[in-house]
Structure 1
Amino acid sequence: MLKMMMRNIAAASFYCSSRRWRVVRFTQILGQVAKLKHYSAVISLYNQMGVSRIGRDVYILTIVINCYCHLNQMGFSLSVLGKFFKLGLEPNVFTFTTLINGFLLENRVAEAAGIFNKMMKAGNCKPNLVTFSTLIRGFCMTGNNSAAIQVLRKMDEGACKPDVVCYSNIIDSLCKDTLVDDALNLFLEMMSKGIAPNVITYTSLIHGVCNLGEWKEATRLLNEMVSKNIFPDVFTFSVLVDTLCKESWKQKASTLINGYCKRKNIDEAMMLLREMTCKGLVPDTVTYSILVDGCCKVGKLGDAQKLSSEMQACGQLPNVQTYSILLDGLCKNRQLSRAMQLFGEMEAKKLDINIVIYNILIEGLCIAGKIESARDLFCGLSSKGLRPNVRTYTIMINGLCIAGLTSEAEKFLIQMEEKGCSPEGCTYNTIIRGFIHNKQTSTAMVLIQTMVERGFSADASTMELIVNLLSKDEVDPALLPLIKKSL
């Protein structure tokens, strides 16, 4: 990367005839190298600019000052500031803010404050939000909370108003000094000004109240942040586990993991699981099942199976719910052989395999086009002491329709009623769509009439197909009033 930057400099020196263009180009290059934190390299490149007689501007000199600051060489930073005046350049707010940050990095708060005060008195280079925030952070780092609050009050008096970063820095510092009441008061002040807290703000407060053993307040703050859609991060959870009774927080951990999985933030959920185990908490079967479900829903079947093995290694045996989640994930992702293997494992362990498990497997067979196998499994339910429910029949009807076996699907519709299992709206919509897809419009219209008479209506997918038929004049206009009733 650095060699490429050097080549860019050589090329810029050779090809660019415009002095201003060369300065702009070098500013871009130096800025990129500085972002990579190769501060010494920036200084080296800067010195080469002098040899190549390339001019300096405010931006280049500010970048160089920043690099010297991060190298803890404030003397050189100040010497670069002197170059401003030699070259007739005017330091801007970023230059002075960079110097303030440099002094703070060396814990030289007095000198940082001195620059800030000069900026406040000067009329042409007033501090901006970054300047204020930098100084506040510096005071907080040294535990000088009163000075940080004074800076905050100066912001209130001026045009540059404090933001959540300014408040959060002070709140965190107050909490670390066990001044939790002051922190909470500042938190309320921030909220009253319409400044929304973030995860850092809440984590600081939770850490503060936990250190005082105020567990109920920690719970209240946690619930409050979640209600505002501010989701706890790994550090928040780490604070809670470290400070509170571990057993009482197993449920909280499971709730947080569940929230991440619902948002499909599986990586964050996995980080929380690892944090739990590192803190000596053994995740229970429910927690593992939630994670297995999350992995399946985003297609990470390998991770889901690893979690299943991991939970058994930890002494947490998968229950029927865990197996059903994994089985459903395998079936929906067309991993039928692995699904059948898992089903065999369930039978071998003599688990209580209910109709929900069979529904998942029958649907998986239908999705894979193995309609005969699905029918055999369906017909064998009675021998297992199980009765098919509405979901079971609807799955079979859908599978038969997909296979083009609509007459058999209609027989299943009649059969379910004879067995005392009344069809629902979902069942009717499924078979109606099946007949329409198989271009048996007249039968579909009869079924629509039956559905309406039973008090059910067409869903969005069915209505889309009906509207499409209407546009093609494939529906008898006399049926329009009936169709309208199904809306």
Structure 2
Amino acid sequence: MPAIWSSRTMAFTRSSKTFFFSFNLLQRRTCSSSTSQPQPQPFNAETICRILSANPTSTVDASLANIPVQMSPDLAVDVLKKLSNAGVLALSFFRWVEKQQGFKHTTESFHELIESLGKIRQFKMIWTLLAEMNRKKLLTRETFSLVSRRYARARKVKEAVEAFEKMEQYGMKPQVSDFNRLIDVLCKSKSVEKAHEVFDKMRMRKIVPDLKTYTILLEGWGTQGNLLRVDEIRREMESEGFEPDVVTYGIVMNAYCKAKKYDSAVGFYHEMVEKGVRPSPHIYCTLINGLGSDKRLHEALQFFEMSKASGFPPEGPTYNAVVGAYCWSTKMEDAYRVVGEMKELGIGPTSRTYDIILHHLIKAQRNQEAYLIFRRMSSEFGCEPSVSTYEIMVRMFCNEGRLEMAMEVWDQMKSKGILPGMHMFSSLIGSLCNESKVDEACRYFQEMLDMGIRPPAQLFSSFKQALIYEGMENTAIHFAVKLDKLRKTPLIA
């Protein structure tokens, strides 16, 4: 065990030294700037998250004890959003902030906490929060939709439907809009068959589906690539008197693109135009994405030119699709040129734009170029990397076996107050185990547990085997006990 704690101490020193230097400098500048009228410190959500993540073993009360910040409901929501991947820390912050003088939580802050607790499957705690929301008259129909979504994401489909049905216990009779949200939740969680069952149950209760109901179900089957069901829903919609609109056509085109039936998708475009339905930017984006991924660059660019002539203002997603189309055809210089156009038009680039470029550079084994683009994102391009951007880079260095670089990127991410999710932990811990760097693997595994994230069974099995191979059976037992405790012990308010 000493090796574990020494490596954790070194990592804490490395990741927090820069922050605390900046923090102390900020304090000195603030104190010396005005003796008669001290200015409030510019603490925002990012700064607060940086403080909290710098030492996860410290309590929130201790970490924020000397922070002179006026906490507003909007700021609390922003912090909770950034703590989305750290359910335990999010709960601690939630309880700390409600003790601040004059502060009252809103429905939105409860929803953000439910979101982060759902990621670590703390459903008992979630129902405790719902009871609290009910007492404070903050419960909404969207609350039950959110709980259902978290259950569905955790592959607890039965519980997702039961959570929806509990609405009536709280005096809310389900309406068509509520059924639409549940069907949407199930479809997006790849439980489309169950969503269709809910759709049938809804009709049995004499609740008439609307256009949105059919659209959601159509999109669900389309995402699954089930073109037979897509055509079936289309025919049913028309028999119920719902004329296909631009949204319907967009969903059908997307379904055919996912099934790699690009000619059929283009055919639906022409059918739509013939019926007098004006194509939307989303339609063009769908076709550019699909044709671009099939390396039909010339056709993708034709639809891009059509989109520009359509009269709609330029949109970032459409330009991202063009960037992707050039990347699929390995025309990186053209992709960079489009990024320049986005900047001139004031519609980007965003971190999503760079994620597309980085993905294709790494796929083409141009890793050095990818790292250079990543390093220049915030300093030269004015675009901060997102958690998915950092995940791409960490995975790249892990696959290269350059674990020091992976950990350096990780520390850079943490210094910006961005917290990793389960997939990032899995990539880094798995790679450290493969390279027999078990002390470092222990440090990150402990950090994952501190955040309340339960590792996948496969990851823990590999981690345990690596410890046993290095003669660290006691450490393996120690983590097995901690993990078991995390699984069985619900969080308390």
Per the normalisation by structure 2, the TM-score is 0.50
Counterpart residue type for residue 171 of structure 1: L
* 1:200 lines up with 2:384 in the alignment: no
SS of the equivalent of 1:253 reads: helix
Counterpart selection for 1:220 from 399, 404, 408: 408
Q: How far does residue 33 in structure 1 lie from its aligned partner after superposition?
A: 3.8
* 1:140 lines up with 2:312 in the alignment: no
2:252 maps to 64
Change (3 A) 1:11 1:59: farther
SS of the equivalent of 1:231 reads: coil
Q: Distance in 1 between matches of 2:467 and 2:478?
A: 19
Q: Distance in 2 between matches of 1:233 and 1:260?
A: 8
Change (3 A) 1:44 1:194: same
Counterpart residue type for residue 219 of structure 1: M
2:294 maps to 106
Q: Distance in 2 between matches of 1:182 and 1:4?
A: 49
Counterpart selection for 1:41 from 229, 234, 259: 229
Q: Distance in 2 between matches of 1:131 and 1:278?
A: 47
Q: Distance in 1 between matches of 2:476 and 2:466?
A: 16
Change (3 A) 1:66 1:134: same
* 1:115 lines up with 2:115 in the alignment: no
Q: Distance in 2 between matches of 1:185 and 1:3?
A: 47
CA contact (8 A) 2:432 2:440 kept: no
* 1:159 lines up with 2:346 in the alignment: yes
Q: Higher relative contact order at CA 8 Å, sep ≥6: structure 1 or structure 2?
A: 2
Q: How far does residue 255 in structure 1 lie from its aligned partner after superposition?
A: 0.8
Counterpart selection for 1:73 from 261, 266, 274: 261
Counterpart selection for 2:358 from 171, 174, 191: 171
CA contact (8 A) 1:172 1:201 kept: no
Residues 240-295 of structure 1, C-alpha deviation per residue, up to 9 Å, x if partnerless? 75589722x21121011100111121335x55323435789747333541442343
- Superposition CA RMSD, Å: 3.9
Q: Distance in 2 between matches of 1:73 and 1:65?
A: 9
Q: How far does residue 154 in structure 1 lie from its aligned partner after superposition?
A: 1.7
Change (3 A) 1:171 1:245: same
Mapping of 1:53-452 within 5 angstroms? 54-120=242-308, 122=309, 124-192=311-379, 195-209=383-397, 214-228=402-416, 229-231=418-420, 233-234=422-423, 237-238=426-427, 241-242=430-431, 246-247=435-436, 249-267=437-455, 272-276=459-463, 282=469, 284=472, 285-296=474-485, 299-300=488-489
Residues 102-146 of structure 1, C-alpha deviation per residue, up to 9 Å, x if partnerless? 2134332332232123323x1513442222333333443444333
SS of the equivalent of 2:347 reads: coil
SS of the equivalent of 2:384 reads: coil
Q: How far does residue 209 in structure 1 lie from its aligned partner after superposition?
A: 4.3
Residues 272-327 of structure 1, C-alpha deviation per residue, up to 9 Å, x if partnerless? 323435789747333541442343356459xxxxxxxxxxxxxxxxxxxxxxxxxx
CA contact (8 A) 2:432 2:438 kept: no
CA contact (8 A) 1:30 1:45 kept: yes
List gaps (5 residues or longer) in structure 2: 1-192
Change (3 A) 1:66 1:209: closer
CA contact (8 A) 1:84 1:91 kept: yes
Q: Distance in 1 between matches of 2:476 and 2:252?
A: 51
Q: How far does residue 161 in structure 1 lie from its aligned partner after superposition?
A: 1.0
Counterpart residue type for residue 246 of structure 1: E
CA contact (8 A) 1:34 1:63 kept: yes
Change (3 A) 1:115 1:86: closer
Change (3 A) 1:76 1:169: closer
Change (3 A) 1:264 1:105: same
CA contact (8 A) 1:74 1:102 kept: yes
Q: Distance in 1 between matches of 2:200 and 2:476?
A: 54
Residues 17-68 of structure 1, C-alpha deviation per residue, up to 9 Å, x if partnerless? xxxx965554344234435553321112213445566422111222222222
Q: How far does residue 194 in structure 1 lie from its aligned partner after superposition?
A: 5.3
Q: How far does residue 93 in structure 1 lie from its aligned partner after superposition?
A: 0.7
Q: How far does residue 159 in structure 1 lie from its aligned partner after superposition?
A: 2.4
Q: Distance in 2 between matches of 1:10 and 1:232?
A: 39
Residues 363-390 of structure 1, C-alpha deviation per residue, up to 9 Å, x if partnerless? xxxxxxxxxxxxxxxxxxxxxxxxxxxx
How many equivalent residue pairs?
A: 294
Q: How many percent of aligned residue pairs carry the same amino acid? A: 19
Change (3 A) 1:254 1:4: closer
Q: Distance in 1 between matches of 2:255 and 2:235?
A: 13
1:438 maps to none
Change (3 A) 1:298 1:57: closer
CA contact (8 A) 1:241 1:279 kept: no
CA contact (8 A) 1:202 1:225 kept: yes
Q: Distance in 2 between matches of 1:271 and 1:198?
A: 27
Q: Distance in 2 between matches of 1:81 and 1:274?
A: 50
Counterpart residue type for residue 292 of structure 1: V
1:422 maps to none
Q: Distance in 1 between matches of 2:297 and 2:464?
A: 41
CA contact (8 A) 2:293 2:324 kept: no
Counterpart residue type for residue 180 of structure 1: N
Per the normalisation by structure 1, the TM-score is 0.51
SS of the equivalent of 2:455 reads: helix
Q: Distance in 1 between matches of 2:468 and 2:369?
A: 33
Change (3 A) 1:128 1:22: same
Counterpart residue type for residue 484 of structure 2: C
